[in-house]
A and B are shown apart, each in its own frame.
Chain A
Amino acid sequence: MIALQNVTFRYPAHDRDAITDISLEFRPGEVAWLTGALGSGTSTTLLVAAGLAPRLTGGSFSGSVALDKRDPALASPLAQGIAYLGASPVLQLSGIARTVRDEIAIGPMNVGWPRERIVEAVDEAIDRFDISHLAPRAPLQLSGGETQRVMLAALSATRPHTWLLDEPFAALDHLARAAMAELLASLAQQGETIVVTSDDADLMLGLATRLIVFEGGRVALDGSPAALLAGDEIGRTGAGTTGAATMARQAGIAAPRPVTTRELVATIASPLADAAVLHKTTDGVAVTPHLDAVLQLDGVIFRYPKGPSVLKGITLIVRQGESVGLFGSNGAGKSTLLRLAMALEHPSTGSVYTLGSSTERRGPEDFAPEVGFLFQQPERQLSAASVRAECRLAPSYAGWDEERSASAIDEVLHQLGLADVAGDHPSDLPLPRRRLVALAAVLVTSPRLLLLDEPTAGLDDASREKVARLVRERTAQGLTTLAITHDAVFAHEALDRAVVLDSGRVVFDGAVRDVLDGKQQQRPAALEIALALQLQVGNDRRDNVARVIAEIQAR
């Protein structure tokens, strides 16, 4: 059991406390979920509980932390049975393991277990986290999501009794998230203590036994997740709630609101509703047909040197004004397709035309600034010393004058809610905001084609909303978007068309909603609403549904 008593902590060279007067106890068998607006102190609390702050971070500290009556700051977390996982998975790697299997063995090696026990622990961890296919691979070559899994497996090898996880789902797609949540739940059932910081309310609702909401460094709310998510107070603290509760609030339903889709649907069961809702929500998806192909792939085959074919004959046309989602499991070739479009790679066979020009013998600098590209984990590509300077890079390379740059930058920063941190160093911002900065930097030059790789990964509800809105607004002004995403909500708020890749081929090309629900039939109103919540195609469509719900309630 970890107990924090009146803990106040401030990082060095900061002018505000990160957390103030926190008193919390984390008990075995509980899954405590910490959330709050960005910068509210959740990650810091984990660091303090692990005994890592202030010992390793420096800074001023008052209060006490006790791990079963002892001070966890006396020794490494590992030696005390604490598994601490920081937000960025790749930085957690040991740096001395050649394979994933070796990486998992590092922990037991460091605590000096006998060899047989180490081998046993490693095998068990690999089994438990279902990563036997990753065991012989080199840790540096894994994707973000795979690294995350491996890290959890590695931490589990020394059988910790307490897990302190900072945004463990951020890098995972929704299938992997569900699997991870299940795993954590089973750990809790075995009597381990789990403390998680996360912004994914829908996921945590099913997993957490306790919700602690932070606001400005203090504990604002502490109680049952379902009860708190249904209420008004959580919204006031700046933290997000479930999609269903958000829509219910938008529809004017008072607290306590339904928190799951099923509950929301149950509140409006009425036969009169069916006809009305069906009529309102089956608006056609508006795709402006233009003859100009903004992106064209003709029979593209691509293989990395000395590797198998990643793309096996792709023919695809994206027209101006389309918002296309690129779907498919990992390794299906999505990122490669995006990179081909930006001339970061060149096809082995076939041709790629971006904005009408072939990518042959050209590089990405030849397509900037008309084409904007957002990488996965974009915070690892930030270069400048301030948010504003980062945004100024693309316009300056394009030769824009100061005035034009400044006004474009101001507009984008405002739209993404970054105006207040324009002068800050991106590294001083929390991870989700850093990602928004990367996006802002791409959008400044108002590119005609936007290539996005997981644009909403790691973002909270509010940020995701801003991104989706921005994409939609610019689409109305003629922007074309091609986005790889696992985020169902974003896909349906901002994208119209879906292209699904499997093993390097296009296996589906149609409307986005069909991808995630898989059916295409007449649906009763209740299901329509449920889908609208999950899919949320177009904000105007969601507004429609909310309005209709309000109308029904009023009758």
Chain B
Amino acid sequence: MTSLARTAHPFTTGTVALAFTALAIVVPAPAGTIVLYAIICLVAILTGAGRGVILGLVVVAPLWFLLFLMHGVLGDSPRVPAPWGGTLSHAGVALAAVQGSRLAAIVTASLAFASVFDPNRFMQAAIAHRWRFDLAYVVVATLDAAEQLTVHARRLREAQRTRGLRVRGSLAVRIRAVPALILPLILASLTDADDRTLALESRGMTIKGPRTAFDPPPDTRLDRAIRWGALLSVVAAMVWRVAR
């Protein structure tokens, strides 16, 4: 069962996420942004990107807490009494609400997008729409490189451990492990990059073009409608905000 977010054209999900981000900046906070956050969560859950909501909460909850502390509890006067007996800064709480809801909206929109982002589909879409191949390649290859690097890091860690490096224990032990783990990793990556230059050339990555997308994601009318809708809603919000 594939969700709407995953079957939609990659550009569509990207446009929607960007539009939500733009709206979060434009609409008045905190009322507008809180409503927007709710809408984003709803849309994410309904379209199958619900994981982004949870990830968003993980990122944003500590920030909410810190915002409350920094501005609400430790903020400037005028202060109002708090339910537990102390005082809270009135302006501070308001600011925390504004920042908190705005951050929540933006972070959730982007994490929801990230959770359904498929690099290969994106690449196929970019090729089909004749975008600059090398830029699209860089984005996708980086994600792949990060995965390869993580695997490599794990192997290096194992190799070092088999020689006797300790990685668990006191802070001092862990600190001493850092150079042994990351220096050879970076060095090996740079050397690999050297070999890869030849490989990329021999696989034809630098050929000027045009390329064929052998598996392009379908770009339906609904996709286009959604993209236009997203764009128009941002423009409308901006106009409305200026007119106020």
**Residues of chain A whose beta carbon lies under 8 Å from any beta carbon of chain B:** 47, 50, 52, 56-57, 75-79, 82-86, 88, 91-98, 102, 105-115, 118-119, 140, 154-155, 158, 342, 344, 363-365, 368-369, 371-373, 375, 378, 380-385, 393-394, 397-398, 427, 441-442
Contacts and interface: CB of A to CB of B under 8 A. Distances in A.
Interface string B96-123: 0000000000000000000000011001
Contact of B198 (A47, A114, A373): A47
A398 B161 contact: no
Interface stretch (B27-35, B44-52, B203-211): B203-211
Nearest to B188: A380
A363 B157 CA distance: 12
Contacts of A373: 162
Among B166, B209, B214, B215, the one with the most A-chain Cβ atoms within 10 Å of its Cβ is: B214
B155 A380 contact: yes
Given A342-B162, A384-B184, A96 B198 contact: no
Contacts of B183: 383
Given A342-B162, A381-B159, A383-B187, 13 more contacts: A78-B204, A78-B207, A84-B198, A91-B195, A92-B202, A92-B203, A106-B204, A107-B203, A109-B212, A113-B212, A115-B213, A381-B155, A397-B165
B161 A365 contact: yes
Interface in B201-244: 201-207, 209-215
B137 interface: yes
B214 A118 contact: yes
Contacts of A47: 198
Interface residues of B, number: 53
Given A52-B198, A91-B192, A441 B163 contact: yes
Interface stretch (B60-68, B71-79, B80-88, B145-153): B145-153
Contacts of B196: 91
A140 B188 CA distance: 17
A109 B159 contact: no
Main secondary structure of the interface of B (DSSP, over half): helix
Contacts of B123: 96
Given A85-B202, A140-B147, A375-B155, A114 B162 contact: no
B188 to A, nearest CB: 7
Main secondary structure of the interface of A (DSSP, over half): mixed
A380 B124 CA distance: 32
Nearest to A385: B187
Contacts of A140: 144, 147-148, 151
B212 A107 contact: no
B199 interface: yes
Contacts of B212: 108-109, 112-115, 118
23 contacts: A76-B202, A78-B203, A86-B202, A94-B205, A95-B145, A98-B120, A106-B204, A107-B203, A108-B214, A109-B212, A110-B211, A111-B204, A111-B207, A112-B209, A112-B212, A113-B212, A115-B212, A140-B151, A375-B155, A375-B159, A393-B160, A393-B164, A427-B191
Nearest to B142: A95
B204 A96 contact: no
A505 B152 CA distance: 30
B202 A84 contact: yes
Contact of B202 (A52, A113, A114): A52
A112 B210 contact: yes
A375 to B, nearest CB: 6
A86 B206 contact: no
A383 B187 CA distance: 8
Contact of A107 (B140, B155, B204): B204
B180 interface: yes
Among B120, B147, B160, B204, the one with the most A-chain Cβ atoms within 10 Å of its Cβ is: B204
B147 to A, nearest CB: 7
Interface of B: 119-120, 123, 127, 137, 140-141, 144-145, 147-148, 151-152, 155-156, 158-168, 180, 183-184, 187-188, 191-192, 195-207, 209-215
A50 B202 contact: yes
Contacts of A50: 202
Contacts of B119: 96, 98
Contacts of A88: 195
A383 B160 contact: yes
A97 B120 contact: yes
A144 to B, nearest CB: 13
Nearest to A344: B158
A35 B26 CA distance: 68
Nearest to B205: A110
A85 B202 CA distance: 8
Nearest to A50: B202
A365 B205 contact: no
Among A111, A114, A342, the one with the most B-chain Cβ atoms within 10 Å of its Cβ is: A111
A461 to B, nearest CB: 25
A114 B211 CA distance: 9
Among B162, B180, B183, B197, the one with the most A-chain Cβ atoms within 10 Å of its Cβ is: B162
A368 B164 CA distance: 5
Contact of A368 (B162, B197, B213): B162
A94 B155 contact: no
A415 B43 CA distance: 67
A394 B211 contact: no
B229 to A, nearest CB: 30
Contacts of B214: 105, 108-109, 115, 118-119
A110 B165 contact: no
A444 B201 CA distance: 40
A56 B198 contact: yes
A102 B118 CA distance: 14
A107 B141 CA distance: 16
Given A47-B198, A92-B199, A380 B207 contact: no
Contacts of B165: 365, 393, 397
The 5 closest A-B pairs by CB, nearest first: A397-B164, A383-B184, A110-B204, A381-B159, A78-B204
A119 B215 CA distance: 10
Nearest to B206: A76
Contacts of B140: 95-96
A252 to B, nearest CB: 44
B120 A96 contact: yes
Nearest to A141: B151
A50 B74 CA distance: 68
Contacts of A385: 187
Contacts of A95: 140-141, 144-145, 148
A352 to B, nearest CB: 15
Among A91, A105, A113, A158, the one with the most B-chain Cβ atoms within 10 Å of its Cβ is: A91
A365 B164 contact: yes
Contacts of B161: 344, 363-365, 368
A440 B60 CA distance: 50
A364 B199 contact: no
A118 to B, nearest CB: 5
B204 A383 contact: no
Nearest to A166: B198
Contacts of B213: 109, 115
B159 to A, nearest CB: 4
